[in-house]
Structure 1
Amino acid sequence: MSGESDDPIMLSALQHWSYCPRQCALIHLEQAFDQNVHTMRGNAVHEHVDDPGFETFEGVRSERSLPVWSDRLGLIGKCDIVEFYPDGQIHPVEYKHGKKRAKLHDDLQLAAQAICLEEMTSKPVTHGSIYHHSSRRRREVIITSALRAQVEKTVAAIRALLATDTLPPPANDARCRECSLKDICQPEVLAQKSNYRTAQAALFTVND
């Protein structure tokens, strides 16, 4: 599907782009998707938070699967959990499978959620958390100015990608081993073809 420059961008696209631009293009441009053990674990983790609703505990209201958007950046999506505190603090929480560890692509998605919430509520959102299901622990993320700038830069890159309707080249590195789209992407095959074309061109290079 060809993307238009003014089409809303899914929040998940920022994570996909940060992990691998080709993965982002396959999912959001080609509408390709496949399952592997990692995506199935992720789906299992999200079973509870994907059910819209809310809970209140000690004055904190936790909204599940809350729709959010930013007209300024053209973003749309859902937050797994958004906690609303009595003092006015708003705290998004993104659920991920796996153990607690820092990943920029997770932080970008969380920061984009914070930007959406700020625009919707006219209140600052300075912190969020990634909940790592395997370790049952939260990792707090400060929504810094640098992270906000990276969100805007990533949104611009994704919008340019959708407008060009072109797949980026495969990464063909360690990321590919865990990617559910490996069979669709075929990184090794495409890399071999690229190496072959380079070698073929070199054979016919005439040196003065």
Structure 2
Amino acid sequence: MISGIQHFIFCRRQWALIHVEQQWAENRLTAEGEVMHRNAHKDSFVEKRPGILVTRGLRVSSSRLGMTGQCDVVEFYASDSGAVIQGHRGLWDVVPVEYKRGKDKNDDSDMCQLCLEALCLEEMMGIHIPFGYIFYNEIRRRRKIELTEDLRNRVEKAAAEMHEYFRRGYTPKVKTSKKCQSCSVKDLCIPKLCRNLSARAYLEQALKEGENL
């Protein structure tokens, strides 16, 4: 799934728990995000304005990268070059827009998801997409993302790594950090356990702590 790359860049263990082991848990952040994306994903919805078409929930895929999913919003602008759209005259520039619940992150996981969506659109429509946008609901602002070669290369490398992990059924160990506190699968991941040298050492420590209560 295209959306999986955001999990993968954020934390490879989180991605493996969800997509390889098929484990999931909701928290407030994921529930709020689900509500926002449910509103964004209105299948077959097309908004028409002079020189602009806006679609929501557009399904995209890439056979080259082995990825499939939905774009929150894709905007099409009438242009002298670009994509041909069935049922509409002329050519169109294509701009994907990814919606996120919170605010701008310190990592580039959101940018990688947007870039992967753009790569799927490019393959499907035979065009080049130079940029897209991420809309952050908490601050009600768009951020323009340039789809550079470095970003594209990172996304393609991550996609290949995801397929390799999935083929092997591999779940990596966690690299604990502050972001573990907001992770929806924290209780399934048990980062404290993964941080210790062994499960035995963790259990021995837990027993000692219990004796001191």
TM bucket (normalised to shorter chain) is 0.7 to 0.9
Cα offsets for 1:142-196 (capped at 9, x unmatched): 1101011001110111111111112100222211101000011111123235397
**Is the 1:68–1:113 Cα contact (8 Å) retained in structure 2?**
yes
Q: Equivalent pairs: percent with the same residue?
A: 38
Aligned-partner SS, 2:175: coil
Structure 1 position 44, deviation (Å): 2.0
TM-score (structure 2 length as normaliser): 0.84
- Alpha-carbon separation, structure 2, partners of 1:167 and 1:70: 25
The number of residue pairs the alignment matches comes to 190
Structure 1 residue 15 corresponds to structure 2 residue 6: yes
Q: Which runs of 4+ in 1 moved over 4 A?
A: none
**Is the 2:100–2:137 Cα contact (8 Å) retained in structure 1?**
yes
**Is the 2:193–2:199 Cα contact (8 Å) retained in structure 1?**
no
| 1:58 counterpart (6, 26, 50) | 50
AA in 1 matched with 2:63: D
Partner of 1:183: 187
- Alpha-carbon separation, structure 1, partners of 2:7 and 2:139: 23
The answer to which structure, 1 or 2, has the higher relative contact order (CA under 8 A, 6+ apart) is: 1
| Structure 1 residues 126-137: aligned runs within 5 Å | 126-137=130-141
Partner of 1:156: 160
**Is the 1:100–1:137 Cα contact (8 Å) retained in structure 2?**
no
| 1:78 counterpart (57, 64, 70) | 70
TM-score (structure 1 length as normaliser): 0.86
AA in 1 matched with 2:158: T
Structure 1 position 47, deviation (Å): 2.5
AA in 2 matched with 1:77: G
AA in 2 matched with 1:156: A
Cα offsets for 1:3-46 (capped at 9, x unmatched): xxxxxxx1111111100000010111011111111101111221
Structure 1: stretches of 5+ with no match in the other structure: 1-9, 198-208
Structure 2: stretches of 5+ with no match in the other structure: 80-91, 202-213
